[in-house]
Structure 1
Amino acid sequence: MRTNINRFLFCLALSGAFLLGCKKWDDHNAITDPALNKNLSEQIKDDTNLSKFSELLVKSGYDKVLASSKTFTVYAPTNAALASLDPAIVSDTAKLNAFVANHIATQTYFTSAVTTPQRIQMLSGKYENLLNKTVDEATIVQADRYASNGVLQVVDKMLPVLSNAWDALQSNSAIPAAQKAYMLSLFRKVFDTKNAVQVGVDPTTGLPIYQPGTDSIVTNLFWRNVYDLRNEEKQYTLFVLTDAAWNSELNKFKPYCATVTNNPDSTTAFASWIVAKDLAIEGAYKVSAATDTVLSKFNVKVPVNKAAVVQTIKTSNGFIYVMDKVDVQPKDKIQPIVIEAENYSGTYVASGSANDAIDRRSNTYFRDRYNPVTNAYFRDVNIYNHGKAQLNILYRVNNVFSNVKYKAYWVALNDFNGGTTFSQKLAFGTPLANTFTLQNTNGYTTVPANVYDEVLVGETTLPAYQSVLNMYLTSANSTTAAANPLVCDYIRLVPQF
């Protein structure tokens, strides 16, 4: 009986505590912020310090947008911040709409929640940088004011609508002519099936047939291969050289870009690409007082000196710096080339002037090994007992420069041939060419047993720049298995300066 009474008293106490908690929660819910009864449009209208921005909302029609049930964050400039607003923006409907929309985001952003930098999209389609109580270059002077459909942030500066880096390159009168003309010359029509209309299938190849005109797009090679400077979500820094500085860099690199025919136009085109591709980096880089170095997408060291900055152009997605000097060194631009030997394009047999494709996949091995010299695992290619004299592997090597001495090295592990040495040849252009100054006769290099070290194969200087160069690894002129293997981990071409 006593146990039942105790249980009853415990349940009664628990029920009382529960009812007391519910009352406290009801009391909490009963506390309301009067601001929550007003939408963003009404809050801005009621704030005398925001009267100018309120007028712009009405004139543009965005007052109705901010009165809707959707959720927004508004970065409203004070009257003082709008005192210097260009009247041409107010009188132009399109410009006004873009300006106002650039102060409105479609989500709620509370300052306490943004503790790391964010790029937030505005109704204008542009993005702004947000961190704590700063948005772009403006400071939030009244933060996190609640409304029924979002949050109001009062800022001390306007958020102007800026051109992105690519649009600024095209339209800003401060951009020098030479580099601009080159970058605008890089538009090409390229094959692209993303939006193509398929009208059939080729009975011979089995490949789809597309409606003419739907299977290609016009794009820019800089967008595709370096950075798409139109992208508003990310930030970029573009260095644009004055015409004199551009020509100076071109002349520096033209000797390394000489073509087979010594065609001046081709040499200039190659050199222009070599210069331009490293003049953009990802991120909004701010030039410091001292000389600094940035790394391009292609790991080229680009020296940046504040004294060389002629003009700074702020864009919606970063900066453009007009420079009267960017002195990139050839040793930094022309870098070692590493070819992983297992990534070849095909196997062939050399016979006289012909080099015929042949399938030797059944004799090809991709081996995983451990290198005790480097303390690292690696994968190599080994073709063994293939039965062909002068079997060769084709590699396609990009951007091999003229008038540069290249030293060639390889790692070729002969741990499968019973201790017997064999020879193989590295050649440019054709599989039997004597490209390199090598250790043995006929351009072949001996591969001793169980050597894990990198071996110097030889050196060569090319008379002409090659955007794509055929390189071959060729077996001995023998059909004997022990004499004609091919094996390689990697090949490294190191420019000498």
Structure 2
Amino acid sequence: MIRFKNYMLTALSLIVITVGCNEWDEHNKPSHEALNETLFQAIKKTPELSQFSEYLVATGYDQVLASSRSFTVWAPDNQALATVSADITGDAEKLKLFIGNHISYQEYFTESANPSVRIKMINGKNLTWYGNRLESAGVVSANEYVRNGVLHVINEPVIPRQNSWELLLASSAGPKQLAYLQSLTYQDFVDSLATQTGVDPNTGKPIYEPGTGIVTRNRFLEEAIDISNEDSLHTFIILDDNTFNTEFTRLKPYFTTKTGNQDSTARLASWHLAKDLVVRGVFTPDALPDTLVSKFGVKVPMDKSAILETHLTSNGIVYVMKAMNFRLKDKFPPIIVQGELPDGFSRTDKNVNIHYRYRDWASGGADLRVWNHGIAQFNVRYKIDRLYSMSYKVYWRTVNDFVDTTYTNATANPPYAHLDAFQQKLVIDLKSIYVSGAPAPQKDFNYVKVNALKANPANNRLKYLGDYKLDNYRSLYLFVVAGTATSPNTLNPIEIDYIKLVPIF
């Protein structure tokens, strides 16, 4: 009897649940008539969307929304469209961009936003859907489901914004910065985009129709941040001419090239300024910190009182500023050369004597040791590309954790002893090969003792070697040179954790 009662209770529960589910499904299920309609048909029959319907026909999007693909449409009602300027509605290209800013592929319901979702519209722009609004446009009615998508009605038009690159090109705020960035534009040939007209019988290479396959590119967009990319979000800074000139003048001395090549110096200084005027992420005025960090790790000071203009773009935010006081120590941080990353060695037959050692105390987790090579003044070469024209304090960190014996040379005059130490030196030169005394290098810091770590923990610290001044912006080479002795092993090893060049201002 009890079992029968339990059975009946379970059956009744299932009936209630089933009926409830069916009622909920019926509530959310679109009508049979709606499933036979396309988005365009649904819009066309809605009186408050009559103007939007006309614009769909004028732009050709009526045919798009009549197709079998799935879309979501956020249709501004007639009252909203009455606020759109004639500059947009009277220009076919602008009107198509505008209407395309209200249509996306795929289906987005109010519950698709959790709490928001970034959606690419059919015109290539990205907008934020919050469920109850698209950007700032509020939803009047939502989730009308038809055969090929979803229709929402909104109470404001969503005007397409320029991306940051388009805004810069149209702006009059920073002509010097714009002129420099435009100077980085070049033409590139892409064979896959060109029209082939034949094949050269002599070379077998394809012949292309003149003028085809030409693509316009810009080095700033390629090598800094692509502020024309609609799928990226960033904060971009435009400097007025006075500020651009001020910062350029501060940087220019550190990019001195050979005498008379002022164009090269100006180009290098301009790049070093412009590359740090873009930051990943959108920092609105209410959330703008006093310091941002560029892609290249440079601190960018943001003085709110220096902001002249603020522009929201389709892929971020743009500030026009009348001051940008970069700190030189942020623009020119210390240069670290890791010992375990050499450019080469003075001999190629000593690989067995070169040890890349993993050490938990080492910068980067490893150091370099050359041991038992038996070569007087064996050396390790490091290359620094694009070193700034300025003065530096030069340091190195060398940790002697392997030589702990005393060697005495009694035959020398006078006799000498090495106590728990070996000698090595740092040489800086413009040439890629170090040969002692022929000719003299740019800078020879002379031999210094590398004392055993066990003798004094201070031996583990950074050691100051001296100062070095580079007159021209260029590449150069650093050499860590072993002692002049060939034996025993304890006299001429090499050990280098890292070399550090600290700019002097």
Place the TM-score, normalised by the shorter chain, in its bin.
0.7 to 0.9
Give the AA of the match of 2:75: A
Pairwise mapping of residues 39-188 of structure 1 onto structure 2 (< 5 A)?
Answer: 39-115=38-114, 117-170=116-169, 172-187=170-185
What displacement does 1:406 show?
Answer: 1.8
- Does the C-alpha gap of structure 1 residues 492 and 263 become closer, same or farther in structure 2, counting only changes over 3 Å? same
Query: Are 1:366 and 2:375 an aligned pair?
Result: no
Match of 1:352 in 2: none
Match of 2:416 in 1: none
- Partner of 2:78: helix, strand, or coil? coil
What displacement does 1:149 show?
Answer: 2.9
Range 6-15 or range 88-97, more displaced = 6-15
- Does the C-alpha gap of structure 1 residues 295 and 210 become closer, same or farther in structure 2, counting only changes over 3 Å? farther
Range 37-46 or range 249-258, more displaced = 37-46
What displacement does 1:39 show?
Answer: 3.7
Per-residue deviation, residues 205-261 of structure 1 (Å, max 9, x unmatched): xxxx99899999864321232111221101122212222221111111112222243
Match of 1:391 in 2: 378
- Does the C-alpha gap of structure 1 residues 56 and 417 become closer, same or farther in structure 2, counting only changes over 3 Å? same
What displacement does 1:20 show?
Answer: 7.2
Give the AA of the match of 1:456: Y
Q: Distance in 1 between matches of 2:404 and 2:191?
A: 52
What displacement does 1:124 show?
Answer: 0.7
Query: Are 1:427 and 2:436 an aligned pair?
Result: no
Alignment partner of 1:282 out of 272, 280, 283: 280
Per-residue deviation, residues 321-359 of structure 1 (Å, max 9, x unmatched): 22222121212211111222212221125xxxxxxxx34
Pairs aligned (count): 463
Q: Distance in 2 between matches of 1:274 and 1:215?
A: 32
Q: Are the counterparts in 2 of residues 258 and 464 from structure 1 also a CA contact under 8 Å?
A: yes
Q: Distance in 2 between matches of 1:445 and 1:425?
A: 6
Alignment partner of 1:478 out of 470, 477, 485: 485
- Partner of 2:356: helix, strand, or coil? strand
Q: Distance in 2 between matches of 1:344 and 1:112?
A: 56
Q: Are the counterparts in 2 of residues 241 and 323 from structure 1 also a CA contact under 8 Å?
A: yes
Query: Unpaired segments of 5 or more residues in structure 2?
Result: 195-203, 406-419, 454-458
What displacement does 1:92 show?
Answer: 3.2
- Does the C-alpha gap of structure 1 residues 359 and 122 become closer, same or farther in structure 2, counting only changes over 3 Å? farther
Give the AA of the match of 1:384: W
Q: Are the counterparts in 2 of residues 188 and 218 from structure 1 also a CA contact under 8 Å?
A: yes
Range 422-431 or range 185-194, more displaced = 185-194
Q: Are the counterparts in 2 of residues 436 and 459 from structure 1 also a CA contact under 8 Å?
A: no
Match of 1:410 in 2: 396
Q: Distance in 1 between matches of 2:130 and 2:447?
A: 62
Match of 2:367 in 1: 380
Q: Are the counterparts in 2 of residues 347 and 359 from structure 1 also a CA contact under 8 Å?
A: no
Q: Distance in 2 between matches of 1:416 and 1:73?
A: 70
Give the AA of the match of 2:402: F
Q: Distance in 2 between matches of 1:6 and 1:115?
A: 47
What displacement does 1:99 show?
Answer: 1.6
Range 132-141 or range 91-100, more displaced = 132-141
Q: Are the counterparts in 2 of residues 424 and 476 from structure 1 also a CA contact under 8 Å?
A: yes
Range 262-271 or range 294-303, more displaced = 262-271
Range 330-339 or range 426-435, more displaced = 426-435
Range 468-477 or range 182-191, more displaced = 182-191
Q: Distance in 2 between matches of 1:127 and 1:289?
A: 22
Per-residue deviation, residues 164-183 of structure 1 (Å, max 9, x unmatched): 2223333x042432111111
What displacement does 1:18 show?
Answer: 6.2
- Does the C-alpha gap of structure 1 residues 414 and 232 become closer, same or farther in structure 2, counting only changes over 3 Å? same
Give the AA of the match of 1:482: T
Per-residue deviation, residues 9-56 of structure 1 (Å, max 9, x unmatched): 998997887677666655555553438534432333344333322221
Q: Distance in 2 between matches of 1:254 and 1:276?
A: 13
What displacement does 1:304 show?
Answer: 2.2
- Does the C-alpha gap of structure 1 residues 60 and 219 become closer, same or farther in structure 2, counting only changes over 3 Å? closer
Q: Are the counterparts in 1 of residues 40 and 65 from structure 2 also a CA contact under 8 Å?
A: yes
Match of 1:494 in 2: 502
Q: Distance in 1 between matches of 2:162 and 2:52?
A: 22
- Partner of 1:183: helix, strand, or coil? helix
Q: Distance in 2 between matches of 1:73 and 1:47?
A: 16
Q: Distance in 1 between matches of 2:263 and 2:138?
A: 51
Q: Are the counterparts in 1 of residues 427 and 444 from structure 2 also a CA contact under 8 Å?
A: no
Match of 2:412 in 1: none
Q: Distance in 2 between matches of 1:341 and 1:102?
A: 55
Range 132-141 or range 254-263, more displaced = 132-141
- Does the C-alpha gap of structure 1 residues 136 and 344 become closer, same or farther in structure 2, counting only changes over 3 Å? farther
Q: Distance in 2 between matches of 1:425 and 1:195?
A: 56
Match of 1:449 in 2: 452
TM-score of the superposed pair, with normalisation by structure 1:
0.81
Q: Are the counterparts in 1 of residues 119 and 128 from structure 2 also a CA contact under 8 Å?
A: yes
- Does the C-alpha gap of structure 1 residues 398 and 109 become closer, same or farther in structure 2, counting only changes over 3 Å? farther
Give % identity: 35
Per-residue deviation, residues 75-97 of structure 1 (Å, max 9, x unmatched): 22232332232324333333322
Q: Distance in 2 between matches of 1:133 and 1:30?
A: 24
Give the AA of the match of 1:263: N
TM-score of the superposed pair, with normalisation by structure 2:
0.80
Q: Are the counterparts in 2 of residues 423 and 447 from structure 1 also a CA contact under 8 Å?
A: yes
CA RMSD of aligned residues (A): 3.6
Per-residue deviation, residues 282-307 of structure 1 (Å, max 9, x unmatched): 12232359882211112222222333
Query: Unpaired segments of 5 or more residues in structure 1?
Result: 197-208, 350-357
Q: Distance in 2 between matches of 1:386 and 1:393?
A: 12
